[in-house]
Amino acid sequence: MAEGDDEGRIKQKLIETKQKWARDGRLLTGMPDEGHVQRLPPGQREVKNWPVLDLGLQPDIDKGDWRLAVDGLVELPATLSYEQFLALPQTETVSDIHCVTQWSRYDNHWKGVAARDLIALVRPKAEAQHVIFHSYDGYTTNVARDVFDADDVIVAYQWEGQPLTREHGGPVRIVIPRFYFWKSAKWVKRIEFSRDDKPGFWEVRGYHNVGDPWKEERYS
Ligand SMILES: Nc1nc2c(c(=O)[nH]1)N[C@H]1C(S)=C(S)[C@@H](COP(=O)(O)O)O[C@H]1N2
Ligand SMILES: [Mo]
């Protein structure tokens, strides 16, 4: 085989690798919008599986007994049965998961009710600048109102076309893709709109109050 052929093949490989990097946005640094170009936040690595993280307790909630309260500082507090929840407008999203324990999982397909549709239903008062999630396992977590009121936030009951499994927070969990995944409450039972911020389970145990993965806000 001629030397030139080998060289040609090596070059082709190099070009392909560089093309892939370009597609992935690799080697882009120092740009103000880096977070939107680069897909993997700092200090994260991609996984193909979906790890399970919880407090060692996975509540088993029958859909018939399940209720979701959306209340606090709102004009029209609601307590929804599963049937009523499914009767709300349905939304599908695709988003990445970024866990503070350094794994990220791309392209998760969710189905559920958009946070914005729940907000429209209960009409939070202007003073309600915080949202506190309460779960069936006793877990709580907090976000600013505008974090919940984003177009990619979904209250999900399906993942990849299947009912959300119990281990991943079924029947219904929150998904807030732009923040570390501990902000996405599994087994959600109450969404509370509040004037005051109320740091949740991990937030009072040293995790960052905001938790933006692009700013690597892991710990406080
Ligand atoms: N109710 C509840 N929600 C929770 C948790 C929990 O322990 N209880 N753990 C949080 C953490 S730390 C992470 S990383 C994700 C994990 O979700 P997963 O098990 O579906 O990957 O759920 C978050 N939501
Ligand atoms: Mo986590």
Instruction: Please give the pLDDT value at position 158.
Output: 99
C-alpha 52 to ligand 2 mean position (Å): 9
pLDDT-derived band at 54, boundaries 50, 70, 90: very high
Instruction: Please give the pLDDT value at position 3.
Output: 44
pLDDT, tens digit, for every residue of 159-173?
999 999 999 999 999
Instruction: Please give the pLDDT value at position 11.
Output: 47
Judged by its nearest atom, the ligand closest to the C-alpha of residue 54 is 1
- The yes-or-no verdict on residue 75 having pLDDT over 60 is yes
- Which residue has a Cα nearest atom 24 of ligand 1? 185
Domain boundaries, the chain: 3-45+62-215
Mean pLDDT of 207-213: 98
Kindly give the number of the ligand 1 atom that is closest to the alpha carbon of 52: 19
- Whether 140 and 198 have beta carbons less than 8 Å apart is answered as yes
Q: Tell me the CATH number for domain 3-45+62-215.
A: 3.90.420.10
pLDDT, tens digit, for every residue of 92-124?
999 999 999 999 999 999 999 999 999 999 999
Q: Is 72 helix (H, G, I), strand (E, B) or coil?
A: strand
Strands of the chain (E only): list them: 45-46, 67-72, 78-81, 91-98, 103-114, 130-135, 140-144, 154-159, 162-163, 173-175, 188-194
Note the pTM of the prediction, 2 decimals.
0.86
pLDDT-derived band at 88, boundaries 50, 70, 90: very high
- Which residue has a Cα nearest atom 11 of ligand 1? 182
Mean pLDDT of 185-208: 98
Kindly give the number of the ligand 1 atom that is closest to the alpha carbon of 167: 19
Judged by its nearest atom, the ligand closest to the C-alpha of residue 186 is 1
Q: Is 211 helix (H, G, I), strand (E, B) or coil?
A: coil
| Cα gap 79→72, rounded to integer Å | 12
Best residue among 50, 54, 190 to mutate for probing ligand 1, ranked by most atoms within 8 Å of CB: 54
Picking from 115, 173, 113, the residue whose alpha carbon sits closest to that of residue 144 is: 115
Query: What percent of the chain clears pLDDT 70, i.e. is strictly above it?
Result: 83
Instruction: Please give the pLDDT value at position 12.
Output: 58
| Cα gap 105→15, rounded to integer Å | 27
Name the residue type at position 208.
H
Kindly give the number of the ligand 1 atom that is closest to the alpha carbon of 100: 14
Instruction: Please give the pLDDT value at position 21.
Output: 57
Lowest mean pLDDT among 33-47, 75-89, 115-129: 33-47
| C-alpha distances out from residue 134 to 43, 131, 156, 187, 188, Å | 29, 10, 15, 9, 6
Question: Which residues partner with 192 through β-bridges?
Answer: 71, 132
Kindly give the number of the ligand 1 atom that is closest to the alpha carbon of 169: 20
Q: How many CB atoms neighbour CB 216 within 10 A? A: 15
C-alpha 54 to ligand 2 mean position (Å): 8
Question: Which residues partner with 45 through β-bridges?
Answer: 103
